[in-house]
Amino acid sequence: MVRRLLSSLAFVTVVSLTACVQRSQEASAGAVSFARGGQLNMVYDIRQRPQAIYVNGKVYIVFASRKDEPPVGKKPATRPMLITYDPASRDFSDIITLGSGKGDHHYTPIIWADEDEYLHILYGCHKTPGIHLVSKLPKEVSDSPEAWNKVAQIEGSMSYPSVFRIYDDKELIYYRTAGHSSSWTYRISDDNGKTWSGPVEDVTDMDLKAWPEWSTYQSKLLSSDGRSLYVCFISYDDVKSNDPERLYNPKYKQPVSNEWKYNLYLIKIDLKDFGVTNFSGQALVTPIDMDQANEKCRIWDTGWRGAGVPPAMKLDRSGNPAMLHVLSADTLEKHHYYYVRYVDGKWKQTPITESNHQWNSCHIADGSDGALHAYIITGEEYLNTEGLMDKHGGGRIEEWVSSDDGDSWEKVRDISPKGGKYAGWKFNNIQPIKRPDGSIIENMLLFYGWKDSVEPRGEAFLLHE
The pLDDT, as a whole number, for residue 301 is 98
The pLDDT, as a whole number, for residue 28 is 36
Residue 167's SS3 state is helix
The pLDDT, as a whole number, for residue 386 is 76
- Tell me the pLDDT tens digit for each residue of 206-255: 998 889 999 999 999 999 999 999 999 999 999 999 999 999 999 999 99
Percent of the chain with pLDDT over 70: 91
- The answer on pLDDT for 46 being more than 70 is yes
Is the bond preceding 80 in cis, omega lying within 30 degrees of 0? no
The pLDDT, as a whole number, for residue 184 is 98
* 61 confidence band (pLDDT: 50, 70, 90): very high
The pLDDT, as a whole number, for residue 16 is 33
Task: Characterize 408-445 residue by residue with b for buried, 16 or more Cβ atoms within 10 angstroms of its Cβ, and e for exposed.
Answer: ebeeeeebbbeeeebeebbbbbbbbbbebebebbeebb
The pLDDT, as a whole number, for residue 144 is 56
Beta strand spans in 274-371 (E):
276-278, 298-300, 306-307, 312-315, 321-328, 335-343, 346-355, 363-366
The pLDDT, as a whole number, for residue 455 is 82
Give the residue-averaged pLDDT of 365-374: 97
> How far is it, in rounded angstroms, from Cα 146 to Cα 291?
51
The pLDDT, as a whole number, for residue 420 is 86
Task: Characterize 135-152 residue by residue with b for buried, 16 or more Cβ atoms within 10 angstroms of its Cβ, and e for exposed.
Answer: beeeebbeeeeebbeeee
The pLDDT, as a whole number, for residue 29 is 53
The pLDDT, as a whole number, for residue 165 is 98
The pLDDT, as a whole number, for residue 73 is 65
The chain-wide mean pLDDT, for the chain, equals 91
The pLDDT, as a whole number, for residue 70 is 65
> How far is it, in rounded angstroms, from Cα 115 to Cα 294?
38
This prediction has a pTM of 0.93
The pLDDT, as a whole number, for residue 180 is 93
- Tell me the pLDDT tens digit for each residue of 279-305: 999 999 999 999 999 999 999 999 999
**CB of 196 closer than 8 Å to CB of 188:** yes
Name the more confident of 455 and 37: 37
What is the third-level CATH fold of 13-464?
Neuraminidase (2.120.10)
- The answer on pLDDT for 454 being more than 90 is no
- Tell me the pLDDT tens digit for each residue of 70-79: 667 667 789 9
The pLDDT, as a whole number, for residue 5 is 30
Bridge partners of 447? 461
* 453 confidence band (pLDDT: 50, 70, 90): confident
* 6 confidence band (pLDDT: 50, 70, 90): very low
In order of 312, 354, 364, the CA distances from 334 in angstroms are: 20, 8, 22
**CB of 83 closer than 8 Å to CB of 433:** no
- Tell me the pLDDT tens digit for each residue of 77-105: 899 999 999 999 999 999 999 988 888 99
Name the more confident of 143 and 418: 418
- Tell me the pLDDT tens digit for each residue of 7-31: 333 344 433 333 333 333 333 358 9
- Tell me the pLDDT tens digit for each residue of 389-445: 899 999 999 999 999 999 999 999 999 998 889 999 999 999 999 999 999 999 999
